[in-house]
């Protein structure tokens, strides 16, 4: 049975609230294939709505394949059968790491869904526009909520709140302040880097100072600095945080934690010009695994990007709303 409570103060139109309520009831199996919905007249009277409002909601649900109408009898929940899911992926950018997630996600959903990809480029305005334009057009919205640090957080929280929880998937970054029961597959940036540094403590302790190269362009999670600082303070390690390799003059006894590949290249050049032995006099710990870093023998701390895409797709297809901290680990090589 459909239990419908509309919020008269919500910005979401009432017809859209009806659509979301039906989708939520189907996702929770409160409504099953073959169940009859209230007639347009019944729902209009019960909720004190115009018939046009209910008709618009039922029309959208029918067009999306969730309900069917039987002449003279009414509206019924419809099994979607072999109909493919429609999924929108909304990423902040399409780096090599994000491509790995994307292709792993596509491989896991296979032919069970059609998947579109859009990029918001850290722009909250573009993010809002994409969501508003596509609400009601997809079965699932898989979102990477990465924005610059100066972005008004409430703007993207409001945009996400417009998506029914059963249809929302947060990917790569969790938002604990978003009170929605949705699927989340994420990196816990501060705890992940803290635990990875602890795993490498036997190598790090031979250096007298650690230096984190963290750009201040506001595109990188600030939690990375929190985890790095927490490790150094916990283990009484001298440390500094600088913006990029241009601010670094390699010094004996220092290990460098590098976020961006451009900084990694510049730092390696400087170390070689200074004639310092990498992994002995100075160390490098790079963030995120790539084939190039493997070839260069770089020790890395990294999340499992393939697992992230695969896990999100698998849980989405199963209709689960779990919270999954994606695997994060270290790979030891000669640079540390």
What span, in angstroms and rounded, lies between the C-alpha atoms of 274 and 252? Answer: 10
Exposure b/e, 125-148, CB count within 10 A at least 16 = b: eebbebbeebbbebbbbbbbbbbe
Tens-digit pLDDT profile for residues 27-58: 777 888 888 998 999 988 888 889 999 999 89
Give the residue from 33, 1, 36, 5 showing the smallest Cα distance to 18.
5
CATH topology of domain 190-303: Rossmann fold (3.40.50)
For the chain, counts of helices (H) and of strands (E): 12, 14
Question: What's the pLDDT at 33?
Answer: 83
**Per-residue pLDDT for 26 more than 90?**
no
Q: List helix spans (H) across the chain.
A: 14-27, 40-47, 51-63, 96-109, 124-134, 153-161, 189-199, 201-204, 223-234, 261-273, 291-296, 305-317
Q: In CATH terms, are 85-188+305-327 and 190-303 the same topology?
A: yes
Query: What does the mean pLDDT of the chain come to?
Result: 91
Tokens of 51: 């018939």
Mean pLDDT, range 187-191, rounded to an integer: 95
Tens-digit pLDDT profile for residues 278-331: 999 999 999 999 888 999 999 999 999 999 999 999 999 988 889 999 999 999
Tokens of 181: 């029961």
Mean pLDDT, range 221-239, rounded to an integer: 95
Residue 258 is given by DSSP the state E
Question: What's the pLDDT at 29?
Answer: 78
Share of the chain above pLDDT 90, in %: 65
Check whether domain 14-77 has CATH 2.170.190.11, yes or no? no
Question: What's the pLDDT at 80?
Answer: 62
CA 129 → CA 137, 215, 228, 290, distances in Å? 14, 28, 35, 33
Beta bridge partners of 141: 88, 168
Domain ranges, ordered by start, for the chain: 14-77, 85-188+305-327, 190-303
Q: Which residues contact 153 (CB under 8 A, 6 or more apart)?
A: 147, 177
Give the residue from 286, 291, 292, 256 showing the smallest Cα distance to 271.
256
pTM recorded for the entire structure: 0.77
Beta strands 85-91; 140-143: pairing state:
parallel
What span, in angstroms and rounded, lies between the C-alpha atoms of 194 and 201? Answer: 11
Question: What's the pLDDT at 149?
Answer: 86
Q: What is the CATH number of domain 85-188+305-327?
A: 3.40.50.2300
């Amino acid at each position: 049975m459909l239990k419908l409570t509309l919020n008269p103060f919500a910005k979401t139109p009432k017809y859209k609230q009806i659509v979301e309520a039906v989708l939520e009831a189907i996702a929770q199996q409160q409504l099953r294939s073959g169940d009859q919905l209230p007639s347009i007249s019944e729902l209009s009277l019960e909720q004190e709505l115009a018939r046009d409002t209910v008709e618009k909601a039922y029309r959208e649900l029918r067009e999306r394949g969730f309900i069917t109408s039987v002449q003279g009898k009414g509206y019924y929940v419809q099994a979607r059968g072999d109909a493919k899911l429609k999924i929108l992926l909304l990423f902040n950018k399409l780096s090599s790491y994000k491509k790995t997630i994307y292709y792993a996600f596509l491989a896991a959903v296979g032919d069970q869904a059609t998947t579109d990809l859009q990029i918001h480029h850290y722009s909250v305005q573009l993010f809002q526009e994409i969501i508003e334009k596509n609400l009601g057009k997809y079965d699932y919205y898989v979102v990477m909520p990465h924005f610059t640090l100066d972005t008004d957080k409430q703007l993207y929280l409001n945009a996400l709140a417009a998506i029914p929880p059963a249809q929302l998937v947060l990917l790569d970054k969790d938002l604990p302040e978003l009170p929605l029961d949705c699927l989340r597959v994420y990196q816990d940036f501060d705890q992940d880097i803290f635990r990875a540094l602890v795993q490498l403590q036997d190598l790090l302790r031979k250096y007298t100072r650690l230096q984190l190269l963290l750009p201040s362009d506001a595109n990188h999670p600030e939690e990375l600095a929190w985890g790095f600082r927490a490790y150094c303070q916990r283990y009484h390690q001298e440390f500094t945080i600088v913006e990029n390799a241009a601010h670094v003059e390699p010094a004996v006894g220092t290990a460098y934690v590098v976020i961006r590949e451009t900084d990694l290249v510049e730092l390696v050049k400087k170390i070689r010009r200074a004639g310092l032995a990498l992994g002995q006099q100075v160390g490098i710990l790079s963030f995120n695994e790539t084939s190039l870093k493997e070839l260069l023998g770089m020790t890395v701390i990294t999340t499992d990007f393939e697992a992230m895409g695969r896990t999100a797709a698998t849980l989405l297809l199963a209709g689960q709303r779990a919270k999954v901290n994606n695997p994060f680990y270290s790979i030891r090589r000669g640079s540390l």
